[in-house]
Amino acid sequence: MGNGRTPSAIEPGEGNWLRSRGCKSGPASGRTFASRVQSFSKSGGIAVRRLLFCAAVLGGFAASAHAAEQGIEGPKDPLPDSLTYKGVTIYGTIDVGYAYQTAGLPLGASFYPGLSWEANGTGLHPISTLVNNAASLSQIGVKVEEALGMGFTAIGKAGTAFDPVSGELADVCKSLVQAANGSKAANGDGPLCGQAFNTEVYAGLSNSAYGTLTAGRHASLTNAGAEGYDPNRGSLAFSLIGYAGGAVNGIGGPETAFWDNSVKCLFQKTSG
């Protein structure tokens, strides 16, 4: 990918940058090269390295400019921008990383944050492990957006979150049952309890003039809005809002961060 600049467009500071290394452009460039050759006998390897550096930089600019003039494009990404067919888009996220804790609980197979990320006195021993969902929630789903005419669009969404390290669906309720039965793995409460579609599942209509009306399982209003104010975007490992934000996202408790059998209406903001 490019940096948004044409190959031949060198900013004012770059000319000085090249000249400070013995490179010059314009009519005097031949004399500069000759002077560098003469300095080679005096300066040894240092002059050679400077000459090679200058030649590589100037050669790169010349090759890029030639390619642009000939209309030659660079290699293209073979993957499509989206997996969409007839208004149906498949989306997904997989988050897997590595974590080390000096005093923590073992990885929870059903506990979708993976580890206990908050400072507490329950840590038993050092933990070194692969971990899932530290930066974002791993999930897969489909979105539907199909124009119906008259400015109306049919929309829908169905998604489910999972733990890629264990291969299980996100199920904090199961983690609590295991803890009650003596498991020492990380556990906790939350809104994702092993449902086939445990994130958002809804269908409805959208109109550019009036707004959007959907029915189904929605993220709570604070759950949907809090992420916009969180610089860590709800990260389970690095955000207090993401990991322990039940009082915010669930309006009092983490179990209610998603609302079943709900209707959501978003009105289109008008000017004036």
Tokens, residue 216: 């189904």
134 — phi, psi (to 5°)? -70, -45
Check whether 31 has a pLDDT greater than 90. no
Sign of CA dihedral 245, 247, 248, 254: positive
Q: Is the pLDDT of residue 159 over 90?
A: yes
- 230-269 residue pLDDT tens: 777 778 888 777 666 555 665 667 778 888 999 999 887 7
**Does 15 or 49 have the greater pLDDT score?**
49
Average of per-residue pLDDT across 94-105: 91
d(CA 235, CA 245): 11
Residue 98, φ and ψ in degrees, nearest 5 = -125, 140
pLDDT of residue 194 exceeding 60, the answer is yes
pLDDT at 211: 92
SS3 225: helix
Q: Which phi and psi angles does 140 have, rounded to 5°?
A: -145, 150
Dihedral, CA atoms, 241, 242, 246, 248, nearest 10 degrees? 40
What is the model's pLDDT at position 165? 92
158 pLDDT band, cuts 50/70/90, is very high
pLDDT of residue 235: 82
Highest mean pLDDT among 16-20, 33-37, 67-71, 79-83: 79-83
Q: What angle do CA 69, 7, 20 make, to 5 degrees?
A: 135
Write out the E strands in the chain: 83-85, 88-93, 96-104, 125-132, 139-149, 152-163, 168-169, 201-207, 211-219, 258-267
Residue 85 has a pLDDT of 82
pLDDT above 70 coverage of the chain, percent: 63
Residue 190: per-residue pLDDT: 84
Model pLDDT, residue 244: 61
Q: Pick the range with the lowest mean pLDDT from 30-34, 68-72, 104-108, 251-255.
A: 30-34
Paired tokens of 25: 């452009």
| The pair of three-digit structure tokens given for residue 108, joined into one six-digit string | 């929870």
